[in-house]
Amino acid sequence: MIFVTVGTHHQPFRRLLDALGTLDGHDLVVQYGPGEPPPGVAHAQAYMPFDEMLERFEEADAVITHAGVGSILCARRAGHVPLVVPRRHELGEHVDEHQAELTRALEARGKVIAVWETESLPQLLSEAPAQGEPAVAADPALSAEVRAALRGE
């Protein structure tokens, strides 16, 4: 199963959701945020409770996410090197370029697989490493802070 999350930002992320159509044959679980769910996906939810998202990160064979800090941390904590599609200001997907900046920094350290062009998603997914041991040790304080951030608290 591939878990896909676009986070809770108020702007839809159609570029990523539309790219999921190129992943034929994959079992996708998608948290799609505001707007319409992606077509042809067996399980799609606008928003998920945090505990359910954590379960999805752990159950997934691979993770595709926007470049939200919380989503990346959760994927890394579950042992994934996530495929990260940063929301782009120039495309009207976010208020600035912080997601692109974060993606570049983490890509340079080998912590994420950057997806700059969604056309490359199937190829990058096929080359992604399998889920491994958690990259970040379980830390209750970190979990509480991430949970609060994702809830907007």
Lowest mean pLDDT among 23-27, 62-66, 149-153: 149-153
Q: How many CB atoms lie within 10 A of CB 89?
A: 14
pLDDT at 98: 77
Q: Tokens 């994702």 — which residue?
A: 150
CA distances from 138 to 55, 91, 141 (A): 14, 36, 9
What is the assigned CATH class of domain 2-151? alpha beta
Residue 150 has pLDDT above 60, yes or no: no
pLDDT at 20: 95
Give pLDDT tens digits for 61-118. 999 999 999 999 999 999 999 999 998 867 666 667 778 888 988 998 889 999 999 9
pLDDT at 94: 61
pLDDT at 123: 96
Domains of the chain, by residue range, sit at: 2-151
**pLDDT above 70 coverage of the chain, percent:** 83
SS3 5: strand
Of 101, 68, 85, 100, whose CA–CA distance to 20 is shortest?
A: 85
- For the chain, what is the radius of gyration of the CA atoms? 14
pLDDT at 144: 57
Residue 148 has pLDDT above 60, yes or no: no
| CB-based burial, 21-44: b 16+ in 10 Å, e otherwise | eebeebebbbbbbeeeebeebeeb
CA distances from 2 to 22, 102, 128, 133, 144 (A): 13, 22, 12, 17, 25
Residue 149 has pLDDT above 50, yes or no: no
Of 33, 86, 82, 85, whose CA–CA distance to 60 is shortest?
A: 82
pLDDT at 140: 59
Q: How many CB atoms lie within 10 A of CB 7?
A: 18
pTM confidence score: 0.84
